[in-house]
Chain A
Amino acid sequence: MQEDYLAKWLNNELSDAELLEFKKSDAYATYKKIRNTSARLKTPDFDTETAWEELNNKREEKHTKVITLSPFKGFLKVAAVVAVVFTGAYFYLNSQNETFTTQFAEHTDIVLPDSSEVTLNAESKISYNDKNWDNQRNISLNGEAYFKVEKGNTFTVNTNQGSVTVLGTEFNVVHRGDFFEVTCYEGLVSVIYDEKEYKLPAGNGLLAVKGKISKTKATLNGTPSWLQNESSFNSIPLKYVLAEFQRQHNIEVDSKGVNTDILFTGSFSNTDTNLALKSISIPLQIKFTLKGNNVQFYEENTAK
């Protein structure tokens, strides 16, 4: 008997001899019955018409979906633009900072949202985010200011040269060009300058002139002298002193005739111009001529 003869038999492919032999076997009767009975088997009803209609509905749905989606897509475009504009405006308005500036010979007192106080020295500028103040007490400063910080979150003063971080204290920050000075009068101040951190306890200061760092001392629990209308200096190059004089008195300084790198220690009045000029010139043994809004400094032995 050939291989898979049962399959051949079912398909009427057996030879006469093979068929005869197969019919003689005991199993043949059952095989025959299986063949006959299985021919009468039926699957559950499948209604081709109903299935066709169902399929057509699905195809239609798929087709119409595409059409109805397009106007919605248009609406989405508009909605997306509106959303972008609104969020943009929200962030823009939120990032709008409060800004205060002072001119020459001018001081301003500012009370921050947490009732911390800032006093701005002449020709200075601070700005901070009013809306986000409760989360982040961040102030940017250009110029000089004295801070009296209420206890609370970290309070940070950012300048182009370095940043000052405190929790609650009193301190003074100067940032003018390549001149950077922080003086702590109360509490503890942390200064980040040139990626390095400096801790300043009360009565200490940090001075950086053209990147050169030195430590300074200040009166414990005092206030910067400029709050009392006096500018004080301790071994500061003359050019910064004269720049400060110009700011405080709004008088143009001509210092071509003197060496502005010599160091000056002392103070001058921010109110009395004549007194201030004498305070600067006498210790340095230089002369000055004041003409209206102009002052010229020159060496004593130079013929005028």
Chain B
Amino acid sequence: MDNKQNVCEEMVYADIFKTNSKTIFNHIFYKYGNEEKAHDAVQEAFMKLWENCAKVPPLKAKSFLYTVANNLYLNVLKAEKVRLKYADKSLKNTNETPEFIMEENQFQEKLEAALNSLPKNQRVTFLMNRIDGLKYAEIAQLEQVSVKAIEKRMHLALKSLREKIDGI
């Protein structure tokens, strides 16, 4: 993105929305498991960006949006269960046995339960990587922590997920 460009320009603003709205939605959803609030957070964050478009350079827009969205429900919203869906194509189109499919479904349920029992920041970090495909460095920038800290979170998240699922 050109540094001379201005967020107040419609093209730039629309582009930022296209690239980031879904990930912001997901981010807030991982945190609180509330779809409606995640929608509101996207609207709120982008309205704030529009109001401050002259002050926020395009390169800072992304972290600005995350900060606004994150602060919106700080200490006010209670986390609900994060309900996730599965892209089921891989299962439906295979000729797997019913036993295998049932086993898969059971595992999915266990995984979901395990995810919900994770500390909030571990879950958010894990899902940003697994679902949104964000690199550790990208997550680190948005969460404003070091890459090392993100690696630690990922490690701990995987460890507890496994322990939960295997019943250790």
Chain A residues with a Cβ under 8 A of chain B:
3-8, 10-11, 27, 30-31, 33-34, 37-44, 46, 48, 51-52, 54-55, 58-59, 62
Contacts and interface: CB of A to CB of B under 8 A. Distances in A.
A48 to B, nearest CB: 6
A5 B151 CA distance: 9
12 contacts: A10-B154, A11-B136, A27-B166, A31-B158, A38-B127, A44-B29, A46-B22, A46-B39, A48-B22, A52-B18, A58-B47, A59-B47
Contacts, number: 107
Interface band, chain B: 35 or more
Contact of B39 (A34, A41, A42, A51): A51
A31 B162 contact: yes
Q: Chain A contact residues: over half helix, strand or loop, or mixed? A: helix
Given A38-B130, A40-B90, A4 B26 contact: no
A19 to B, nearest CB: 15
A55 B29 contact: no
A150 to B, nearest CB: 65
Contacts of A4: 148, 151-152, 154-155
A41 B159 CA distance: 19
A5 B155 contact: yes
Interface of B: 14, 17-18, 21-22, 25-26, 29-30, 35, 38-39, 42-43, 46-47, 50, 83-88, 90, 104, 107-108, 111, 126-127, 129-131, 136, 148, 150-152, 154-155, 158-159, 161-162, 165-166
B141 to A, nearest CB: 16
Contacts of A59: 47, 50
Given A43-B25, A48-B22, A30 B162 contact: yes
Nearest to B35: A44
